Amino acid sequence: MADTAAGNAPTRADKLAALRDKPLSVLIVGGGINGIGLLREMALNGIDALLVEKGDFCSGTSSASTRAIHGGLRYLENGEFRLVQESLHERNRLLKNAPHYVRPLGTTIPIYSWSKGIVHAARKFFRMSSKPGDRGAVIIEVGMILYDLIGGSEGLPRHRFAFRKKALEERPQLNPDIVSAATYYDARIAYPERLCLELVMDSEATSPDVAGLNYVSVIGAEGGTVTLRDELTGETFNVKPQIVANATGAWIDFTNHAMKRESQLIGGTKGSHLVVDHPALWEATRDEMMYYANSDGRICIFYPFYDKVIVGATDLPASDPDAAVCDEDETKYLLASVQQVFPNIVLDHSHIVFRYCGVRPLPSSSAENSTTTGQISRDHSCPVIPGGNGVDFPVYNLVGGKWTTFRAFAEQVSDKLLAVFNKPRRTSTHEMAIGGGKGYPRTAESKSAWVANVSAKTGVPQERVKALLDRYGTRAEAVAAFIAAGDDQALQHHSDYSRRELQFLAANERVMHLDDMLLRRTLISFLGGTKRELLEEIAAAVAPTLGWSAAQVTEEVDRALKILHERHGVTSS
């Protein structure tokens, strides 16, 4: 590889060679946020572990969320106070530990009655069946008071109510049928994919006895051995774990089957989202999330995300996570839902720049085949399947959970594993900064000083350093130094990025395919960058770093276009 800043760090080939028939304490299968969170816990507490992911890190459900870090206001209605408390405390920790990617988000609820939903809320609170519907001001006010009390202030404003006149003055596009609007605060995560990657890199930097490998799958098990396959070369090899942690989310039952375990732990539901380019809608949000019950009682949202708007989400039963895509019925449903909030804003297919879908790894439930899938608990658990059927090791299954609570879930599972190995916990992640959140400047003044200092050291203009800080947190200093060390040029078809910036990512961030770069190391395609000429330019820029031939560049562009079309509804001209 040319132009790498990784120094003498072991290559992927080195790692694979070292793993052959290797005894392991823990094999973690699944490179989404739950598995990666557990890898960090193992690294910090002296347990050797290997994480394998059949695709790229954070390429499944973890990359397909609403990108909200939240306590779950609606979970209060189900009486899930422990889950809400845990979620709010974890939200507050992420605001502190990952400030480069997790930032406050005001959330406004348009309210159409004063008293609706009281009976429904009471029935749900007492664990009785009830069809979801609209919530009135009384129920919302009670919920928000509890939400603020449970979550504490942590620097976020308290909730507020606006009567109809004031609400319409603030947002003239709002549905005039409202009686009031309520605003509370949670958070958004800009780059969940990058945060996953940073956790992997933090873990490996912490301990030489842990490793994370993308594009490695589990294909079998026998006795104390698990057979793995390198998805890039087709080569197979064995490892010998004492314990397997199955963190494959919606694929948990499929993964167990591959390891001669039969389970029915998951009752997944798919959630689809749209990314739309609509300046009037963007402006009408006033930089806040709009949170509302659609006509069928399903909670929907939309909010500004950079210069686009994310619209979501559906909640439909899904038995095959590999086949889940945002279909036409869901697209129409989401487009129509926005007009319930802003009836005079016309939103149609022409505004869509990207679609995405993920299957939530929810526990199997009788609700999954009903109209109330949104009421399946988002809590997490770790059922254990003991050894048997010719396989010696137990499988710890990470079921459920959500982005907000990944740290707490990983901590709870790791406590179980530490007990098995009779090792005390030696490190807590409660206050541990992640990746580019380390040393992140918190105030406008300190950000300006940080940018000026890095600009002076590297010679990269301050505006460019500021953009890098937004993308990478304090890792931006290393990116800027790499940019300054060679002849850099802005991309012709996407001037916000440059050739050497992309080469840095290719050299240092486990990029194996072009779609890794487009969808998970950057937001280029998520925000609408899908034209063939752009993809060709990016592939050509990183080809020397990744050792791609001219034929491979063409193959990678074709592969990425196929994925964008089939998985994300994008047709490139």
What share of the chain has pLDDT > 70, as a percent? 93
Token pair listed for 412: 């709870």
The CATH topology of domain 19-61+193-267+379-420 is FAD/NAD(P)-binding domain (3.50.50)
Bridge partners (DSSP) of residue 498 are: 490
13 vs 204, higher pLDDT: 204
* 502: pLDDT strictly greater than 50: yes
The reply to whether 19-61+193-267+379-420 and 442-568 are identical in fold is no
* 571: pLDDT strictly greater than 90: no
Beta carbons of 61 and 360 less than 8 angstroms apart: yes
DSSP state string for 66-81 = --EE---GGGGGGT-H
Q: Which CATH class is domain 442-568?
A: mainly alpha
Looking at 2-16, 173-187, 247-261, 474-488, which range is the least confident one? 2-16
Predicted local confidence at residue 522, as pLDDT: 98
Confidence band (pLDDT; 50, 70, 90) for 80?
confident
Cis amide prior to 550 (ω within 30 degrees): no
Give the Cα separation of 136 and 125 in Å (integer). Answer: 16
Domain ranges, ordered by start, for the chain: 19-61+193-267+379-420, 73-79+103-187, 442-568
* 264: pLDDT strictly greater than 70: yes
pLDDT tens digits, residue range 280-339? Answer: 999 999 999 999 988 888 899 999 999 999 999 999 998 899 999 999 999 999 999 999
Predicted local confidence at residue 503, as pLDDT: 98
With b meaning 16 or more CB within 10 Å and e meaning fewer, what string describes 491-513?
beebeebbbbbbbbbbbbbbbbb
Give Cα 424 distance to the centre of its chain: 30
For 474-533, give the secondary structure using H, E and C.
HHHHHHHHHHHCCCCCECCCCCCCEHHHHHHHHHHCCCCCHHHHHHHHCCCCCCCCCCHH
Helices 462-472 and 476-484, packing angle to 10 deg: 140
Mean pLDDT, residues 14-43: 94
180 vs 153, higher pLDDT: 180
CB atoms within 10 A of CB 542: 22
Length of the chain: 573
pTM, two decimal places: 0.93
Mean pLDDT, residues 470-483: 98
* 547: pLDDT strictly greater than 60: yes
Mean pLDDT, residues 228-250: 96
Confidence band (pLDDT; 50, 70, 90) for 5?
very low
* 366: pLDDT strictly greater than 70: no
Predicted local confidence at residue 492, as pLDDT: 97
DSSP state string for 361-410 = -PBP-GGGGSS-GGGS---EE--EEPSBTTB-S-EEE-EE--GGGHHHHH
* 153: pLDDT strictly greater than 80: no
* 1: pLDDT strictly greater than 50: no
What is each CA distance from 189 to 101, 192, 287, 291, in whole angstroms? 5, 6, 14, 17
SS3 110: strand
* 249: pLDDT strictly greater than 60: yes
Terminal Cα distance for the chain, rounded: 32
**Average of per-residue pLDDT values in the chain:** 92
Contacts of 430 (CB under 8 A, 6+ apart): 93
Give the Cα separation of 515 and 534 in Å (integer). Answer: 13
Token pair listed for 196: 């996953």
| Nearest C-alpha neighbor of 403 from the set 360, 445, 446 | 360
Look-up: residue for tokens 């130094």?
481
Cis amide prior to 313 (ω within 30 degrees): yes
* 370: pLDDT strictly greater than 70: no
* 368: pLDDT strictly greater than 60: no
Give the Cα separation of 380 and 373 in Å (integer). Answer: 16
| Nearest C-alpha neighbor of 279 from the set 311, 303, 307 | 307
Give the Cα separation of 356 and 33 in Å (integer). Answer: 18
Contacts of 265 (CB under 8 A, 6+ apart): 252, 253, 256, 363, 364, 383, 397, 399
* 128: pLDDT strictly greater than 80: no
Give the Cα separation of 549 and 171 in Å (integer). Answer: 53
Predicted local confidence at residue 120, as pLDDT: 59
Looking at 3-7, 147-151, 305-309, which range is the least confident one? 3-7
